[in-house]
Amino acid sequence: MEPKRLTSLDALRGLAALVVVLWHWQHFFALDGDWMDGWTRDMQPAYGLLKPFYVQGWAAVDLFFVLSGFVFFWLYGAAIRSRAVAASRFAGLRLSRLYPLHVVLLVVAATLQFLFFRAHGVFFIYEANDAPHFAASLVMVQNWWPGSPQSFDGPSWSVSVEVLLYVLFFIACRAGLKRGLHCFVLACLGGLLLPYDEHIARGIIGFFMGGFVFTVWDLLRVRADARAAGRLLGAAAVLGWLALAAMLYRGSSWLANGEANNLFLLAFDFGLCPLTVLALALHEQARGRSYAALGFLGDISYSTYMIHFPLQLGLALLAPALGLAPRFFMQGWVMLTFYVVLIGLGTLSYRYFERPMQILLRSLGQRKDSVAARG
């Protein structure tokens, strides 16, 4: 039976969003706009336990792209190729999900960045906060060209790249792109962009590797040995993550240079991320069980990802008035409280803003299509 949703993948997306928050915890060392002298990563809460996330947590974004590719080829690929879904319909479906929260948080971040600049003479973390970058962010194209800086709500760079991927996906499907080998070839072409813009390259690699993984999953899930294959792939994925964690704890030179380490990105985006998504999808399908209790993490993944930086920025603005120094934020209970508040805000945003706006905008789009059809 065709599953309507793979909640294990939703949970993975939600966990990836929360990992990015750990990577950005270092922002609290720059409460006045300048990084605190002598700060080191091991000053952060529970460093011994969370070191891999503090050191390499930025890479969790790559899971977003692979998951998106998998889901989009699953839900839309064939429909777009057969022209059952028009460009306007596809655009409306995607923008109704992403744009309302994006534009609200863009305005919030811009306002807070302006207040921070008035107080400190510099912006918080991301410096490219001018009118041209605001206009580009307003239409979600701020990271569509190589070398584009992050601005305002900085983590939204990945949302901008995601929108670019939707455009490429739609054009490719209409041109007759089929999943499988075609997706793998496009992912390889994306790899050629790494020296020029790793953000766009990571998006293309991940998204089309997600399409490739969907093809493999679609073939394996109907086999009699699907459960055994799921266990084998799951074991390989676990070993891969353990090996990566061991390398991070040991400070391996193979993982040096952060996002500029193209060798790591190629191995991660072509190997570990797709393997993990395939193993989870196959395991859930083969066992015929849902992880609904964790699915909510996927529902709020977009809001927690987008809200966390404005929340940090707001706390940085309040810190001088409350007499808070970076060391305050390096306490475990402070981090735990931050996460509780963030997840609470994400839940409220999804239930009472994102979902209602999505339903409203889609109903308006359907009404417009209906009027056009009658006219």
- The predicted structure's pLDDT at residue 329: 98
- The predicted structure's pLDDT at residue 373: 43
* CA dihedral sign of residues 331, 59, 136, 346: negative
Per-residue pLDDT of the chain (375 residues; tens, 9 = 90+): 455 678 999 999 999 999 999 999 999 999 999 999 999 999 999 999 999 999 999 999 999 999 999 999 999 999 999 999 999 999 999 999 999 999 999 999 999 999 999 999 999 999 999 999 999 999 999 999 999 999 999 999 999 999 999 999 999 999 888 778 899 999 999 999 999 999 999 999 999 999 999 999 999 998 888 889 999 999 999 999 999 999 999 999 999 888 889 999 999 999 999 999 999 999 888 776 666 777 788 999 999 999 999 999 999 999 999 999 999 999 999 999 999 999 999 999 999 999 999 999 999 877 665 544 445
- The predicted structure's pLDDT at residue 184: 95
- The predicted structure's pLDDT at residue 372: 43
pLDDT digits (tens, 9 = 90+) for 242-289: 999 999 999 999 998 888 899 999 999 999 999 999 999 998 887 766
Q: Which two tokens stand for residue 123?
A: 């912006």
Query: CB under 8 Å, gap of 24 or more: what pairs does 114-118 form?
Result: 115/317, 116/33, 116/313, 116/316, 116/317
Q: Which two tokens stand for residue 45?
A: 């809460």
Q: Which residue reads 């209409």 in tokens?
A: 174
- The predicted structure's pLDDT at residue 296: 85
Q: Which two tokens stand for residue 133?
A: 């970058």
Rounded distance between C-alpha atoms, residue 350 and residue 78, angstroms: 29
Q: Which two tokens stand for residue 292?
A: 């609904």
Residue 55 CA to chain centroid, in angstroms?
17
Rounded distance between C-alpha atoms, residue 207 and residue 273, angstroms: 11
- The widest CA-to-CA distance across the chain, in whole angstroms, is 68
Total residue count of the chain as it appears in this document: 375
Q: Which two tokens stand for residue 283?
A: 């395991």
Rounded distance between C-alpha atoms, residue 208 and residue 17, angstroms: 20
For residue 332, what are the CA distances in angstroms to 31, 43, 307, 338?
18, 11, 20, 10
Nearest alpha-carbon partner for 248 in 272, 277, 280: 272
Strand spans (E) along 119-265: none
H-state helical runs in 121-156: 131-138
Helix axes 301-322, 292-299, angle to 10 degrees: 60
Rounded distance between C-alpha atoms, residue 231 and residue 235, angstroms: 6
For residue 131, what are the CA distances in angstroms to 103, 109, 128, 151, 154?
15, 13, 9, 11, 15
